[in-house]
Amino acid sequence: MNLAVFASGNGSNFSAIVKAIKQRKIKMKSVILVCDKPGAFVIKRAQKAGVQVILVSRVDFSSRKDFETAIIQRLKNYKIDLIALAGFMRMLSPAFVKQYRNRILNIHPSLLPEFKGGHAIKDAFEDKVPFTGVTVHFVDEKMDHGPVILQEQIKIRNRDTLASLEKRIHSLEHKLYPQAIKLFCSGKIN
């Protein structure tokens, strides 16, 4: 099976996935990184790990359709079976999702359907909810929506700061995402 990880930023989930592959916890033939931000730190992580980087910058294309068509062509060149969104800060179009239906996973730092969007950890912290967590789900046409694969909660402690909560959430993400990918690869989910 061939995996493409899509990321736009730091890339800690990308690194957790690559580590699980290198430790043979996930069986993959190959993995590539698809990034839309030329200066993203995830590119350095990929280079250090020896992972092929496909940089596709949105500003190089006149339309979203052309941008996504370029990505799809590159995915076909690598015979990609599964896409893992790991901090890819763009909504994929319904046409893109349709092409890879039930083969795109996303990780989100909340217990979906609660706290959708780009500030989920902060929103949960500020709302003073007793629990938050992490969700891995299949991607559909809506933002932070689709069938849940794995979900795990953590208690927000009285002594938590936003920074300590973020750290605990990210640690949980690094555990859950490789597990979800392994479930997919073993045919236990589809």
Options 108, 119, 145, 174, the catalytic residue? 108
What does the pLDDT look like over 151-190, one tens digit per residue? 999 999 999 999 999 999 999 999 999 999 999 998 877 6
Q: Distance (Å, rounded) from C-alpha 100 to C-alpha 77?
A: 15
What does the pLDDT look like over 50-103, one tens digit per residue? 999 999 999 999 999 999 999 999 999 999 999 999 999 889 999 999 999 999
Per-domain boundaries in the chain:
2-185
Q: Distance (Å, rounded) from C-alpha 132 to C-alpha 160?
A: 12
pTM of the full predicted structure? Answer: 0.95
What DSSP letter does each residue of 146-166 carry, written as one string?
S-EEEEEEEE--TT--HHHHH
The pLDDT, as a whole number, for residue 190 is: 65
CATH topology of domain 2-185: Rossmann fold (3.40.50)
Helix (H) or strand (E) holding 125: helix 120-126
Q: Distance (Å, rounded) from C-alpha 163 to C-alpha 165?
A: 5
| 55, burial (CB in 10 Å: exposed 0-12, middle 13-18, buried 19+) | middle
Judge whether 114 and 144 are in contact, CB under 8 Å.
no
What does the pLDDT look like over 95-153, one tens digit per residue? 999 999 999 999 999 999 999 999 999 999 999 999 999 999 999 999 999 999 999 99
For the question of residue 108 being annotated catalytic, the response is yes
Cis upstream peptide for 113 (omega within 30°): yes
Radius of gyration of the chain (CA): 16
Q: Distance (Å, rounded) from C-alpha 137 to C-alpha 155?
A: 21
